[in-house]
Amino acid sequence: MTTPMVEIQSVHKIFGELHVLKGVDLTVQPGEVCVLLGPSGSGKSTLLRCINELEFISSGRIYIEGEMLGMYEAPAPKWRFWGQHEGTELRRLKDKQVAAQRSRIGMVFQRFNLFPHMTALENVMIAPRKVKGISYEEARQNAQIQLERVGMGDRMNHYPAQLSGGQQQRVAIARALAMDPEIMLFDEPTSALDPELVGEVLQVMQNLANDGMTMIVVTHEIGFAREVADQVVFMDDGMIIESGTAQEVIDNPQHPRTQDFFGKVL
């Protein structure tokens, strides 16, 4: 059996009084595309942010290819052994180690947040230069490859203001790819786009899936879920209510809340 690319075990997230994730379990295999659907406020973004270590989970565990995120198991002080079965405890990783884990995970947001004073090429080059410390020439060549991959090879020297929303989002995808991530997370990547620009971004994502990238995608694009998802997960009120193939979850939902949601969306 292969190690799952992502393994989420009973994850809870609490913001003050607000219990946002209430015991989420999810496994994503290498090369799998998991589409996360659910009403606004159900905790989808929070879950992605926890996987990308933008949030620290309140309890539970997340593993990326078997490596625990944000924490490690250490021998517990002797006085704590009493009454415990194992002499270990969880401790937080150092910021630098968290940064190393995060660099394995690419994330694309609803708002592309490109640097306005930098060209597409410079936007894609900057993180590998700063974080990985690679040479200018290597970064430039790689950025060019990634921009060509998202169909932006002919606009590398354009500034964000000279690009459409769909083109900017494709640059943002290239920017994430330039870090050579093992997983890509997408949080409603087409929600801010004019309808006629949605297709080009979904196409780039589909190509990425066909190339074997492991992806977790939050989207309201049911067509994309049907075409591309290996696994569809429906979330509501901080819990995974139902998961399975698109056919199972979208076309033949078992849970009343899922039925209600797709009754409204479709």
Q: Which residues of 154-184 are buried (b: 16+ CB within 10 A; e: fewer)?
A: ebbebbbeebebbbbbbbbbbbbbbbebebb
From edge to edge, which strands make up the β-sheet containing 18-28?
A: 18-28, 6-15, 59-64, 67-68
**161 touches which of ligand ADP, Mg ion, none (CB within 5 to 8 A by kind)?**
none
45 binds ligand ADP (CB under 6 A): yes
- Minimal distance, residue 41 CB to ligand ADP, in Å: 4
168 binds Mg ion (CB under 5 A): no
17 binds ligand ADP (CB under 6 A): no
The CA–CA distances, whole Å, from 35 to 48, 132, 166 equal 12, 30, 20
Q: Which stretch binds ligand ADP (CB under 6 A): 36-44, 64-72, 104-112, 124-132?
A: 36-44
Q: Which stretch binds ligand ADP (CB under 6 A): 35-43, 120-128, 144-152, 244-252?
A: 35-43
**46 touches which of Mg ion, ligand ADP, none (CB within 5 to 8 A by kind)?**
ligand ADP
- The Cβ-side half-sphere exposure at 241, using a 13 Å CA radius, reads 24
20 binds ligand ADP (CB under 6 A): yes
42 binds ligand ADP (CB under 6 A): yes
15 binds ligand ADP (CB under 6 A): yes
Q: Are residues 46 and 60 in contact, defined by beta-carbon separation less than 8 angstroms?
A: no
From edge to edge, which strands make up the β-sheet containing 105-108?
A: 105-108, 183-187, 214-218, 33-37, 231-236, 239-244
Positions that interact with ligand ADP (CB under 6 A): 15, 18, 20, 38, 40-46
Positions that interact with Mg ion (CB under 5 A): 45
